[in-house]
Structure formats: structure tokens, C-alpha cells
Structure 1
Amino acid sequence: MTRKIKVLQLQNRYNVNASDLAEQVIQALPAERYEVTTAFVRGRPGPGEPESRAARSVYFEFSQQATKGLRLRVLWALYKHCRAEGYDAVIAHRFKPINMLLILGRWLRIPACIGVLHGLGEYDRAYRRWEMRCLRSSAWRFVGVSRAVREDLLNCGAGFSEGNVRQINNAIDIRRAESLQHPRAQARELLGLPADAWVFGTIGRLVPVKGHIHLLQAFALIKGEYPGAMLAIIGEGRSRTELEAVIQSCGLQGRVWLLGAKEDALQYVRAFDAFVMPSLSEGLPLALLEGMSAHLPVIGSDIDSLRPILEDCGGRTFPVAQAPALAEQLRAVLRLSPEARAAEGEQAYAYLCRAHAIEDFRRQYRELLEQMLAGAKGEGGHE
């Protein structure tokens, strides 16, 4: 009987839910051929919280402090674990897990290593670029989760190249998303939104980088022109007090709804008439894709990670953090006829199916890993 291929998927912090893309990578690897272990450097599930669908889960349970600086205790624990298990491949997400496995690479000699980068600017620091140039080996390939992330890697001066960097777009399970979404009237009732209002909506943590304050300022510029328009924000975070103060000072009470965090927030996305993403920085925002899955027109800031998506899907952009420019885009959508607005939403949905389907995501990760393992075997790597 052929031995299963042993794969370690390493993440910095515990996070498991149905839409988590690391979990989607596991689903890409058939259980009859692969034995996947998922490991988290920090955290573990609490009572009632989900565990990974991997064959085995490992929780190192280090503190945040232990993962800073040289991370010697973490490196030693990871080294012992990998030596004991004899993995054929690893998939590491984000900078810290990638960096630790690069450091251990000369001792572990794992034949196939994939590093997944989710955000921009991971190698802006000179010492990180130097480390990557020194530690990278032929066993490694790197994935950028969007065109913007891939281009950022290729242009950062850390030794990334067309040969070792691949773009695999983040994705969503479109069928699942649509099956979860409540019809418009029901979604509004569940959120407490007026049935007859025109609603701009967004989903995201209430933190400065999400740009909600600029969205509030833009909405304040149009509120008098469109008394039937409202703004709904699903999410929670440390900026709530600041946003509430802006709502008060701009006279937006009763027109802006801070709805708090919602489990599986995409359930409610059909309550919106248009989806807005005013972020100051993103890797590839899944919330925007969820907005597209509801067949909605989409508006977003022109940051590097959003601009290509919005251009390709027929969405609308505005200069980042510029409330007057965002207000113009809000006006433009409000002026659309119902037929034109529906057409914009259908164009965005068609792009989503073409470029961000979960089936393509799984297939690309599986094919990349198979190619790397075949190459390692040809070079005398692990059987």
C-alpha cells in the first residue's frame, strides 16, 4: 500500500471557520492520498469553537511575546515536531511561519515548501529582504493571493522571480455564499433596516485601516440630496467610539447603522443595494467578493489590491481616503436606473465566478503541490 503524502499546514494564530482559505487548501488535497496536519503557533479553539478538518490539529500555544524577535523556543518546538513527523511538504501562511520554516530549512530538508503571502509590504524592511535572499532554496515556491500581492513580491527586491512566485487568487465558495444569503426583505428585517430604504453597505472590522470614517464623511456630503439613502456597517472594533462621534457631529443619526459583528456576515449582504469597500490597505478582501456574490454593484478605494479587481469586474473606484471623490461615486450609483444597477451587479457576479471560484482555487493549490512533489522526487527527494 502506497504511503500517504504527509503535509503540514502552518499558521501563526488559530483561526478556523467555514470560509477560512487554509481550510479550503485542505479540501483541495484528497484524503486517500494526503495526510494533512494543521498547526497553529498561537491559540487554540475554545469550547464550541470549530477545529480544522485536517486529519490532525496541533496547537503549540505559544504567547504573542514568544513569537517576537528570535523566536528560539518556537523554532525549537517546530524543529522537533517536523523532525518527528517527517513531512513531505509544508504550506506556511504569512510572514512569521514562512520565516521560521526558511530558517529551519537546511536542517529539515523538506522537499516541497509553499509560502502563502496574504498582504502587501511584507518585505518592505531591508533585513527581511536580506533574510529571504539568504535563506530561500529551490524547495520553495511562493503564492501571492492576488495580482497586487504577486506584483509586490516580484518588485520588492527580496529575490522573488517569475519562476518561484505564483498568483492564486483568494476565493470564496460561491454556491455556499448564495445558499446562506437571506432574501432582501428577510435580511433587512433581521438587521432592523427599513424595508423601503436605499442602503449602501459594507462589512469589516471597525478599525482605522478599513476607512469607515471616510465613508461616513462621504455619506454626510450626500445625505441632504438623497433623504431615502442609508448606510449600514456590519463589524465591530476599537474605532466604534470615534465613528459614533462622527455620526453625531455630522447629523447622521437614524441614517447610519453600526450593526456590530455578525456570524457569517455574508448572510445579510442582500440587505444592501450597493457594496462599498473604503479600505486604506488590504491583501485581497474577501468581503468585497462576498458583496459580488450577492449580485451587487461594488465601489472601492483605488489601493493596489482593490483597483485591479474593481477594474476587471466593472466596479467603481475613488482615490483612497478622499471623501468628496467617494461621495461622487455614491451619487453615481444612486442615479442609476434599477435596470442599470442590476446590470452592474450581474457584471460583478460574472467576474467573481470567472476569477475567484473556490473550485479553481483548490485545483491550483493541488496542482502546484503535485508539480513540486514530482520535481522533488525527480531530484532524489522523499518518496
Structure 2
Amino acid sequence: MEKIKVIHIITRLDKGGSSENTILTAGGLDKQLYDIILIKGLSIESGMADNEAVAVEKSIREAEREGVRILTLPGLVRRIAPFYDFKTFFALIKILRYERPDIVHTHTSKAGILGRWAAFFARVPIIIHTPHGHVFWGYFGRLKTSFYIILEKITAFITEKIIALTEQEKNDHLHLRIASGDKFSVVHSGIKLDRFLNLSVDPAALRRKLGISEGDLVVGTTGRLTPVKGHRHLIEAAANIVNARPNTTFIFLGDGELSDELKNMASSLGIKEKVKFLGWRPDVAEVMSAFDLFVLPSLNEGMGRVLVEAMALGKPIVASDAGGVHDLVVHGENGYLVPPGDVEELVNSINIFLCDPIKRKEMGNRGKIVAADYSADAMVQKIDRLYRTMLQQKNIETFA
């Protein structure tokens, strides 16, 4: 029996959650049963530092070793670019007609629009889309957001299944009437837990290496430095906290277009020496192990898979109650939820943990239990079951 051919489409691969999720899915599916192709853009819009680009290339090579065929379309970009979009759309149709996949699975908004319509015109039997969150607020102005919502509603008509990362993400789509409830499935994003659960590192030695003063408590965050991630608000909160508690250090892991602005904010607020911007690093897990607590100040978030990583390391959480974050963080159990953009509540919640080592330990331990349910293997198994169900509904002959 021939293998089931699945083509994944995404605009860019970087070390963000949507890319990591897509790579893990494509690489994790059983290659004795599936023939997997991943179509991607050049990732030039990510503005990656050299070490992040090297890590992404390593992930691509690993996926290829796992049997994933990688195709690159230079015109597949995240921004709206009519010339490139038109050219890429017809290139996708040509590829899909040649490859004749059983399933096209698109990822993120832009690739989801182009890829799904290309699959429709190429007469692909099954079209599946994972938004990895959504762009309905926090990303664009009202006019552009309305345009995307209309596109999503129209494109949902040709989509067999939309995979939400959380129940909240599903509910957000239903609230805006993107599609009917029967078109949605919820599959949580997964991570390779072993890297975080079996970490061997001396946090005290690492802190010295990072130049953190002995005795300081460390508040950390990880993510791309972009407006929707809310780092401006965390810098404001950091100024308030450091002025009251000088033995506190804040660490920002990640790169992005706001890097210089955030550094200037820290300097102008007089906390430059207590805020460390480490850029993107390959040893993210090791650095996060040196945190006393983890903060996710996002204004909009699909699921926040970095929260799973932090919880796997036993870190208590302060996070914005945005998107599907509350699927992971139960207020008062394994962390605290605050309204997005509320600096005062950020300060209050962070201070609770800074004052109470027992609470940090207890909530961190509860988070470890939660993290165990979010493995990459569990995610891939759910995707596999979904594929099989869709194939059976379309009367496409499948493996046993």
C-alpha cells in the first residue's frame, strides 16, 4: 500500500513556537506510513541572529534525516506582498498538482490563506489548517485585522479541519464566526520534554557566568522581542521592582525588532545594570534553569509553549491572561494570571513570588506535573489520529 502523502506549508522557520511545532509534527510522524514534505519560505523576515539561524538549519537537517523532504519557495513571505504572493500561489498549485498529496496541512495565517487555496485549486482531498494562535487582535490595526478575519471566514469554507492549540483559541474563532464548531479540533503544542526534565546544570555557576550578582533573585522571560509579546510592559514593571528590590535581576532571552528600544528603555529608567538582554541562545533550557520565576507578558498568545518549558524546569509562572494561556496556568495553583498590559498587576504578582520562596517552590512543582501532559510525542499521536479520521471520512484507503 502506498504511503499517505502529507504536505505542510509555513512561511518561515525560526525558533518560534509555530515553527518548532511544525518541525516536530513533520519529523515525528511515522515515515513507514507517511510521506512528508515541508514547504517553507526563506525566513528572511525573522531577522535571526547568526546563532539562531544555525540552530534553525540544524533543525532542518534533522528533519531531513527523519525522512522529511524540504522545499523552499523564496516568495513565500509572511507580509502581504502582492507580486510575491501571486507568484508563490501558482508555484504552490504546480507543486501540489505534481505531488498529488492526500493532505495539505498549512501553518500560520499567511501560509494558511495561500496554501489552502492552492490546495483547493489543485484538488487536494483533505485541507487542514493550524493557525498557531491568531492575528485577530494585538498584531495589526482595525482595517488590516478586519481584512484577515474576512479572509479566514471565506477560506474556512474549503477547510476540512482547523486545529486550535487551546480551547480558548477555538472559542476566539467561534466568537468571530470563522467557522462552525464541528470544523475545530484542539491539539496542544508539544515540546521535547527530556531536554528540560533531565537537565544537568549548576544554576549558581551559570549565574556567575552571566554576571548576575550573588544573592540576586532572577526574573526571566523568553520570546521574540516584538510588540505583541508585551516586553515594554515588563520593562516598566522591572523598573518598579528593581527600585524597591535592588537585589533583583531581569533576563530577556530572544531577539527581535524591539531589541534596541527595550535596551534604551532600561537605560532611561535607570535599571540598565539589572536587566540583561542575552539575545537568542542555543542553551535556552540551561539559562532558564537559572530563573527563580518565569514571566510571559504577551498581549496575545496562542498557547505559550514556552510556559511548558518553564514549568518542566519547575519554575512558577506570572503570565498575561491572553489567548489560551489559562489552559496551562491555573491562577493561584502553578502561577498567577494578570490582565494583558497591566503593569501594576505584573509588579504585584512578581513581588508575591520574590517575597515567598516556599510559594515559588510549591507552584513550580505543580507546574512540573502540568508540563508532563504536553510532550511532543502526545502532540504527534493526536495529529496522526486526526489524519486517519479525516482519511476514513473521505474514503481514502489507509494503513491499518
TM-score of the superposed pair, with normalisation by structure 2: 0.84
CA RMSD of aligned residues (A): 3.1
For 1:98 and 1:262, locate their aligned partners in 2 and report how far apart those are by CA, in whole Å: 29
| 1-structure distance, mates of 2:118, 2:353 | 52
Please say which of residues 285-294 and 187-196 is displaced more in the overlay: 187-196
Q: Which of 198, 203, 206 is the matching residue for 1:187?
A: 206
Distance 1:161 1:97 in 2: 21
How far the C-alpha of 1:177 sits from its partner, in A, is 2.6
CA distance in 1, matches of 2:102, 2:221: 42
1:331 aligns with 2:360: no
Within the alignment, does 1:345 sit opposite 2:358 as a pair? no
Corresponding residue for residue 132 of structure 2: 118
Whether the aligned pair in 1 keeps the contact of 2:320 and 2:340 (CA below 8 Å) is yes
Deviation at 1:131, TM superposition (A): 4.5
Output the CA distance in 1 between the equivalents of 2:200 and 2:3: 38
Task: Output aligned runs, 1:1-383, within 5 Å.
Answer: 2-15=1-14, 20-43=20-43, 49-50=57-58, 51=60, 52-53=63-64, 54-62=67-75, 64=77, 68-69=81-82, 71-122=85-136, 125-136=145-156, 140-158=160-178, 160-180=179-199, 182-311=201-330, 314-336=334-356, 338-354=357-373, 356-377=374-395
Distance 2:79 2:369 in 1: 45
Read off the aligned partner of 1:182 and give its amino acid letter.
Answer: V
CA contact (8 A) 2:6 2:104 kept: yes
Gaps of 5+ in 1: none
* Residue pair 1:293, 1:352 contacting (<8 A) in 2 also: yes
Q: State the shift of 1:163 in Å.
A: 1.2
**Pair 1:321–1:133, CA change in 2 (3 A):** closer
Greater displacement, 85-94 / 139-148: 139-148
State the secondary structure of the residue aligned to 1:368.
helix
- CA distance 1:120–1:297, shift in 2 (3 Å): same
2:382 alignment partner, SS class: helix
Look up the SS of the partner of 2:75 in the other structure.
Answer: coil
Distance 1:244 1:230 in 2: 14
Number of aligned residue pairs:
378
Distance verdict in 2 for CA 1:162–1:219, change over 3 Å? same
Between the aligned partners of 1:17 and 1:211, the Cα distance in structure 2 is: 16
Change in Cα spacing, 1:106 to 1:234, as seen in structure 2 (3 Å) is: closer
- Structure 1 residues 322 and 135, CA, compared in 2 at 3 Å: closer, same or farther? closer
Give the Cα–Cα distance (whole angstroms) in 1 for the partners of residues 68 and 259 of structure 2.
Answer: 40
Instruction: State the shift of 1:197 in Å.
Output: 1.4
Residue identity matched to 2:6: V
Q: Aligned pair in 2 of structure 1 residues 74, 248: CA closer, same or farther (>3 Å)?
A: closer
Relative to structure 1, the CA distance from residue 329 to residue 114 in structure 2 (aligned partners, 3 Å threshold; closer, same or farther) is: same
Per the TM alignment, residue 301 of structure 1 is displaced from its structure 2 partner at its CA by 1.6
Say whether the 8 Å CA contact 1:211–1:279 is kept in structure 2.
yes
Measure the CA separation in 2 of the matches of 1:216 and 1:16.
Answer: 23
On the 8 A contact 2:195/2:285 being kept in 1, the answer is no
Q: Deviations over 1:112-166 (max 9, x none)?
A: 22101112235985555555555545761110122222111222122x1221111
Cα distance in 1, alignment partners of residues 262 and 79 from structure 2: 34
Letter in 1 for 2:176: C
Q: CA offsets, 1:10-66, max 9 Å, x none? A: 111244799811121123421111111111144599888232334311112226499
Q: Which moved further from structure 2: 309-318 or 120-129?
A: 120-129
Rounded to whole Å, the distance in 1 between the matches of 2:53 and 2:95 is: 23
Q: Secondary structure at the match of 1:20?
A: helix
Task: Measure, in 2, the Cα distance between the counterparts of 1:339 and 1:97.
Answer: 46
User: Which piece of structure 1 moves more, 10-19 or 294-303?
Assistant: 10-19
Q: Does the Cα contact within 8 Å between 2:14 and 2:20 map onto a contact in 1?
A: yes
Q: CA deviation at 1:219?
A: 2.4
Residue aligned with 1:377, SS: coil
Give the aligned residue type for 1:152. D
Please give the per-residue CA displacement for 1:319-367, whole angstroms capped at 9, x wherever unaligned: 222222211112111221x33321110111111113x222211111010
- Residue type of the alignment partner of 1:60: L
After superposition, what is the alpha-carbon deviation per residue over 1:86-132, rounded to whole angstroms, capped at 9, x for unaligned?
11111111122222233234432222221011122359855555555
User: What's the secondary structure of 1:241's corresponding residue?
Assistant: helix
Cα distance between partner residues in 2 of 1:234 and 1:299: 16
Alpha-carbon spacing, 1:122–1:91, altered in 2? closer, same or farther (3 Å) = farther
Indicate if the aligned counterparts of 1:142 and 1:164 stay in contact, CA closer than 8 A: yes
Highest CA radius of gyration, 1 or 2? 1
Preserved CA contact (<8 Å) 1:6 1:89:
yes
Equivalent-residue separation in structure 2 for 1:251 and 1:24 (angstroms): 42
Superposed displacement of residue 205, structure 1: 2.5
- Runs of 5+ in structure 2 lacking a partner? 45-51, 138-143
The verdict on how the C-alpha distance between 1:170 and 1:5 changes in structure 2, with shifts beyond 3 A counting, is same
Q: SS in structure 2 opposite 1:206?
A: coil
